[in-house]
Chain A
Amino acid sequence: MAKIELSFYPGCSSQKGATSSNYLVSAQTMCEELDIQLNEIPDWNCCGASIGYGGGGELPRLALSARNIALSEEHNSGQEIVATCAACWLSTREAKERLHEDEQMFKDANAALSEAGLKYQGEANVRHMVEVLVEDIGFDGIKSKVKKPLEGLKIAGYVGCQTNRPFGIAGESFENPKYLDNIVEAVGADSIPTYEKKVQCCGGALAFSEPEKSQEMIKGIIEAAYDNGADMIVTPCPLCQANVEIYQDNINETYGTKFNMPVVYYSTLMSVAFGRSAKDAALDGQVIPAKKLEEIASK
């Protein structure tokens, strides 16, 4: 396989000491094994996520993503932009589309960017890491790199919202996407096609501002995984991962449940299956340890 070079937008939550720093570590490991080179966009800024709208309005919010795209076009010219965070991908791609459709907005965004000495063209493709896996590497390509199949593990594929909507992965349904299950199968584990909460929203940023309302939804996501006999949940989204993993104590307290369900990234699974260490797979970043993966990694 020829080396794939991508202009990489990591996003705030993946930075050192932040909630999804473990995602970054495992994604980097995964990319090493797949011969994907990630060229970080120099001096990228936060995309404003979805929740930024309330403070940022429209143009200031779009300008954030326009700056990242402009920096990528200047420094990583000719490369596709790829994000690992669903919200980063969504904001960036949404900004690109809005600026493409609305000529006035395009001019206004460039007027703002010129204050920072930048120019936005909007030609670079904006993709999610999962698209690269599904479309460029393929499930067979993933399978061919597996050294330690994750045999005997039953994994609920939790796709969530924003990796799936509104753009989604080409050829996949919004209501019942299959690619995450296919990745689970490719690394040798058992997927759960009947996991009914696979695209249920976890509350997103409202997990913070409306904790009770959101935790009620998160409870359903975890419960369904148990009902389907899952050993763990896998997700492609940093906020999904955090929301579903870290509030389990709070939920147990409120509802008298006994949840202790590990929630990992697809990149965690792949790093372990590709034969890398627990550390390279960032298993030390689990709040709820994924013991069965640790065992396989240490074999």
Chain B
Amino acid sequence: MSDLNTAMIEKYRSSFLKEVEANVEEGEWVKMCMQCGVCSGSCPLGKHWDHPPQELFMMIRANKRDEVLGTDSMWMCTSCYNCIARCPRGLPITHIMHGLAVYSKRLGLVQKKQPTAEFSQIFWDNLMKKGRVNELKLGLSMYFKDGFGQGIKNAMANQKLGQNMMKAKRMNAMEFFGGHSVKDLSGFQKMVKKAQEIEEGNLKDAK
């Protein structure tokens, strides 16, 4: 268990709701949920959520910290915004789901090999390198995330797709050797670093 997680348990012993309000993106909205269930009926991948949004909000208020931070339900969010468009109370549900997912990740509680958690990090790392996403490397790192053997298997399974995309000039093998980039890369990276420092600082202060 990470130190940060231990510290947070210590600090918010009596109220997981307060912990969420203080540390999760848009977490201060959770208490506004009136449990109508509209959001839960709106998730496109609904049947794959162990706990759909409305249930997660209930569990937060019932202090079910381990269950909430330990589930991979939030990673089933496709960012479709159905819920936000429909919630009668105007909760920014999509962002709360993202926020819960990120918080559980920062505390080291994400299930190993959760594919969307991995993809999301690979995506971010990829874009940090050049300021723009390199789709070819993004695809390759995703295929090879579970090691070389599995990577070859994944790549072979999608070989035809790749060839189709190259034929349509919508994938470029040369991207592997560089690819698109922002010009002021150092300024870009300094900016993101600073933003990360501020955000991590806020989390530490909460400790």
Same complex for A and B? Answer yes
Task: For residue B130, give the distance in angstroms from its CB to the closest CB of chain A.
Answer: 9
Name A20's contact: one of B105, B115, B118, B170 (CB within 8 Å).
Answer: B170
Residue B53 is within 8 A (CB to CB) of chain A in the complex: no
Q: For window 137-168 of chain A, which residues contact chain B by CB distance below 8 Å?
A: 161-162, 165-166, 168
Are A12's CB and B132's CB within 8 A? yes
| Stretch from A31-39, A105-113, A180-188 that touches the partner | A105-113
Residue A60 is within 8 A (CB to CB) of chain B in the complex: yes
Task: For residue B191, give the distance in angstroms from its CB to the closest CB of chain A.
Answer: 4
Residue B160 is within 8 A (CB to CB) of chain A in the complex: yes
For the complex, what is the distance from the CA of A111 to the CA of B76, rounded to whole Å?
Answer: 33
For the complex, what is the distance from the CA of A164 to the CA of B67, rounded to whole Å?
Answer: 33
CB nearest to B102 among chain A residues: A57
Q: For window 54-82 of chain B, which residues contact chain A by CB distance below 8 Å?
A: 75-76, 78-82
Name B194's contact: one of A111, A165, A250 (CB within 8 Å).
Answer: A111
| Stretch from B1-9, B11-19, B31-39, B195-203 that touches the partner | B195-203
Q: For window 171-190 of chain A, which residues contact chain B by CB distance below 8 Å?
A: 174-175
Are A209's CB and B198's CB within 8 A? no
* Residues from chain B with Cβ under 8 Å of A77 in the complex: none
How many chain A residues touch the partner (CB < 8 A)? Answer: 67
Main secondary structure of the interface of A (DSSP, over half): loop
* Residues from chain B with Cβ under 8 Å of A19 in the complex: 135, 165, 170-171
Are A113's CB and B169's CB within 8 A? no
* Residues from chain A with Cβ under 8 Å of B117 in the complex: 54
Are B115's CB and A209's CB within 8 A? yes
Name B187's contact: one of A108, A117, A210 (CB within 8 Å).
Answer: A117
A108-B198, A161-B82, A203-B78 known; A54+B133 contact, CB < 8 A: no
For the complex, what is the distance from the CA of A123 to the CA of B105, rounded to whole Å?
Answer: 34
Are B127's CB and A58's CB within 8 A? no
Count of chain A to chain B residue pairs whose CB atoms are closer than 8 Å in the complex: 210
How many chain B residues touch the partner (CB < 8 A)? Answer: 67
Task: For residue B150, give the distance in angstroms from its CB to the closest CB of chain A.
Answer: 14
Residue A17 is within 8 A (CB to CB) of chain B in the complex: yes
A185-221 CB mask vs B (1 if < 8 Å, else 0) is 0000000000000001101111011100110010000
* Residues from chain A with Cβ under 8 Å of B144 in the complex: none
* Residues from chain A with Cβ under 8 Å of B25 in the complex: 57-58
For the complex, what is the distance from the CA of A206 to the CA of B82, rounded to whole Å?
Answer: 16
Residue A43 is within 8 A (CB to CB) of chain B in the complex: yes
Residue A103 is within 8 A (CB to CB) of chain B in the complex: no
Residue A170 is within 8 A (CB to CB) of chain B in the complex: no
Are B133's CB and A46's CB within 8 A? yes
Are A54's CB and B80's CB within 8 A? no
Are A54's CB and B45's CB within 8 A? no
A28-54 CB mask vs B (1 if < 8 Å, else 0) is 000000000000000111101111111
Task: For residue B178, give the distance in angstroms from its CB to the closest CB of chain A.
Answer: 11
For the complex, what is the distance from the CA of A116 to the CA of B76, rounded to whole Å?
Answer: 35
Task: For residue A201, give the distance in angstroms from its CB to the closest CB of chain B.
Answer: 4
Are A161's CB and B81's CB within 8 A? yes
Q: Which 4 A-B pairs have the closest CB atoms?
A: A55-B124, A54-B120, A17-B172, A116-B187
A-binding residues in B (CB < 8 A) = 25, 44-45, 48, 75-76, 78-82, 84-86, 94, 98-99, 101-102, 105-106, 115-125, 127, 131-133, 135, 139, 142, 158, 160-161, 164-165, 167-172, 174-175, 180, 182-184, 187-188, 190-196, 198-199
B-binding residues in A (CB < 8 A) = 12-13, 15-22, 43-46, 48-60, 62-64, 67, 108-109, 111-113, 115-118, 161-162, 165-166, 168, 174-175, 200-201, 203-206, 208-210, 213-214, 217, 246-247, 249-250, 284-287
